[in-house]
């Protein structure tokens, strides 16, 4: 048990656990669990059956014996028919299945023989085989068996009925053959005489037609000969006339050729004269005119160039002078206006303006005084013990420098900043 396989001529049936109904596998593979599942096989091979039906009475009561040959097999392509076959034959040997199918077919064969006459079975074997095949197939299909084919192999009887049928038929055939032979000979004689008569008639008619055709041929040949000779004479005369005309035409053509040659020579000479004139014109006159035109063009271009350059330089100098004059004039006007405004401002404010300028300048002076200290990386303070020490000392020195500014400004300008500030605050 385990993985099981089978060929296309066999089917496997697995039943047991894990399957609510048996699994049928025609020509394939399946896994079978040992101990809990059961595997059975059934053959799908075609079985050939020899069906012997002995001393069976036909519809007329004549006993005969028939031997039929049938090929049957269990149908594996249809699951329904395979299931029916498994229900009927699973676990049985092939010979048992063969025996059941044989008994069924023999019964149907005997039944069909009883419904037909000996003449029908003997003369129409195809109909008999078709009836047996259709009736037997309907029963065997329910068992899962398909009838592949059925043929009637032989028919026999012990009473000599078939032999008598053969003798009667043979006598009828011989009688019909003799009658047919006599009739055929009679018909052949009549037809032969008629044929000879027709042959002679046709022969005479053909001979007459041949004579008439020969006469017509001779007459037409004579007429054709006269016409041919006439045409030949006319052709010779026409040939001679045409030859004379052709010679004259040739002479005229030769003269025309000579005239054409002379005309062509004159045309060639004229063309040569024109070529010489054009050559002289191209080599002497045209170069001189071209050189003259070139020199005149160069002179005119040089003259125009000098004039244009002079005009451009003059115009550039004029524009440059105008621009410089305008710039100087605008600068002078601006400086004059600035001086006027400054004079007016000093005139109006006098000391107050100077004080205001000094006050605006003091922070800048203090920044410049303290700038060296801000750039110093290290300051070492030395004290004798009197006065301030540390940052207060540095700040006081900067303030002392700024406090000396009013005195210095008074000495330079004559303006007392302290008095001016008191007046401004009032």
Q: How confident is the model at residue 285 (pLDDT cuts 50, 70, 90)?
A: low
Q: How confident is the model at residue 69 (pLDDT cuts 50, 70, 90)?
A: very high
Distance CA 27, CA 5 (A): 8
| Residue 384, phi then psi, degrees to nearest 5 | -90, -5
Mean per-residue pLDDT of the chain: 79
Contacts of 390 (CB under 8 A, 6+ apart): 381
Burial class (CB in 10 A: 0-12, 13-18, 19+), 190: exposed
Which residues are paired to 57 by β-bridges?
A: 63
Distance CA 147, CA 70 (A): 7
| 257-267 pLDDT tens trace | 888 888 888 88
Burial class (CB in 10 A: 0-12, 13-18, 19+), 378: exposed
Quick one: CA dihedral 101, 107, 112, 118, positive or negative?
A: positive
CB contact at 8 A, 353 and 345: yes
Tokens of 141: 């299909």
* pLDDT value for 245: 83
* pLDDT value for 389: 57
Q: Sheet holding 23-26: strands in order across?
A: 23-26, 10-16, 37-43
Q: Give the least confident one: 25-29, 223-227, 357-361.
A: 357-361
Contacts of 33 (CB under 8 A, 6+ apart): 1, 16, 17, 18
Distance CA 333, CA 305 (A): 42
Mean per-residue pLDDT, 36-61? 86
Tokens of 308: 């244009």
* pLDDT value for 301: 77
Q: What is the dihedral of CA 24, 27, 33, 38, to 10 degrees?
A: 50
Distance CA 42, CA 93 (A): 9
| 306-334 pLDDT tens trace | 778 778 777 777 787 777 778 777 777 87
Q: How confident is the model at residue 49 (pLDDT cuts 50, 70, 90)?
A: very high
pLDDT at 199 over 60: yes
Instruction: Give 147 or 23, the one with higher predicted confidence.
Output: 147
| 95-111 pLDDT tens trace | 898 999 999 999 999 99
Residue 6's nearest CA partner among 92, 76, 85, 81 is 76
Residue 354's nearest CA partner among 403, 420, 402, 405 is 420
Longest CA span, the chain? 189
Residue 137's nearest CA partner among 54, 71, 235, 188 is 71
* pLDDT value for 276: 79
Q: Give the least confident one: 151-160, 245-254, 371-380.
A: 371-380
The angle formed by the CA atoms of residues 189, 190 and 196, to the nearest 5 degrees, is 85
In sequence order, what E strands does 36-110 have?
Answer: 37-43, 47-57, 63-74
| 232-280 pLDDT tens trace | 888 888 888 888 788 888 888 888 888 888 888 888 888 888 887 777 7
Name the pTM for this structure. Answer: 0.39
Distance CA 5, CA 12 (A): 8
Residue with the two structure tokens 């041929």:
217
Residue 5: which H helix or E strand, with range?
A: strand 3-5
Mean per-residue pLDDT, 10-36? 80
* pLDDT value for 358: 66
Q: 51-55, 174-178, 339-343, 376-380: which has the highest mean pLDDT?
A: 51-55
| 385-413 pLDDT tens trace | 565 655 566 666 667 767 777 777 777 66
Distance CA 165, CA 153 (A): 19
Looking at 350-390, list the stretches that DSSP marks H as alpha helix, in order from N- to C-terminal side. 351-375
pLDDT at 197 over 60: yes
295-325 burial, b at 16+ Cβ within 10 Å, e below that, comes to eeeeeeeeeeeeeeeeeeeeeeeeeeeeeee
């Amino acid at each position: 048990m385990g993985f099981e396989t089978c060929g296309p001529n066999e089917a496997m049936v697995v039943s047991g656990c894990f399957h609510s109904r048996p699994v049928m596998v025609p020509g394939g593979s399946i896994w079978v669990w040992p101990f809990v599942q059961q595997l059975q096989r059934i053959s799908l091979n075609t079985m050939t059956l020899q069906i012997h039906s002995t001393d069976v009475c036909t519809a007329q009561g004549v006993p005969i014996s028939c031997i039929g040959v049938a090929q049957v097999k269990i149908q594996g392509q249809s699951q329904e028919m395979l299931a029916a076959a498994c229900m009927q034959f699973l676990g049985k040997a092939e010979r048992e299945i063969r025996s059941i199918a044989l008994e069924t077919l023999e019964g149907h064969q005997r039944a069909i023989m009883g419904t037909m006459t000996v003449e029908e079975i003997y003369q129409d074997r195809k109909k008999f085989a078709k009836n047996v095949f259709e009736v037997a197939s309907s029963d065997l299909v329910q068992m899962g068996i398909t009838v592949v084919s059925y043929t009637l192999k032989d028919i026999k009887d012990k009473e000599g009925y078939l032999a008598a049928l053969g003798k009667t038929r043979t006598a009828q055939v011989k009688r019909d053959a003799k009658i047919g032979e006599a009739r055929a000979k009679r018909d052949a004689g009549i037809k032969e005489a008629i044929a000879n008569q027709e042959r002679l008639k046709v022969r005479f008619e053909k001979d007459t037609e041949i004579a008439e055709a020969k006469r017509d041929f001779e007459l037409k040949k004579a007429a054709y000969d006269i016409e041919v000779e006439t045409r030949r004479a006319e052709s010779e005369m026409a040939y001679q006339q045409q030859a004379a005309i052709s010679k004259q035409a040739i002479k005229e053509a030769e003269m025309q050729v000579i005239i054409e040659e002379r005309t062509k020579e004159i045309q060639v000479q004229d063309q040569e004269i024109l070529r010489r004139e054009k050559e002289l014109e191209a080599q002497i006159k045209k170069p001189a005119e071209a050189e003259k035109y070139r020199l005149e063009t160069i002179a005119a271009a040089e003259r125009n160039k000098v004039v244009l350059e002079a005009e451009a330089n003059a115009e550039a100098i004029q524009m440059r002078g105008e621009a410089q004059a305008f710039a100087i004039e605008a600068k002078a006007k601006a400086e004059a206006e600035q001086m006027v405004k400054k004079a007016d401002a000093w005139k109006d404010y006098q000391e107050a303006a100077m004080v205001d300028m000094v006050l605006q300048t003091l922070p800048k002076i203090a920044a410049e005084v303290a700038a060296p200290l801000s750039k110093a990386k290290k300051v070492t303070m030395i004290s004798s013990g009197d006065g301030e020490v540390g940052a207060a000392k540095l700040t006081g020195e900067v303030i002392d420098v700024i406090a000396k500014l009013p005195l210095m400004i008074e000495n330079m300008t004559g303006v007392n900043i302290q008095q001016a500030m008191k007046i401004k605050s009032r």
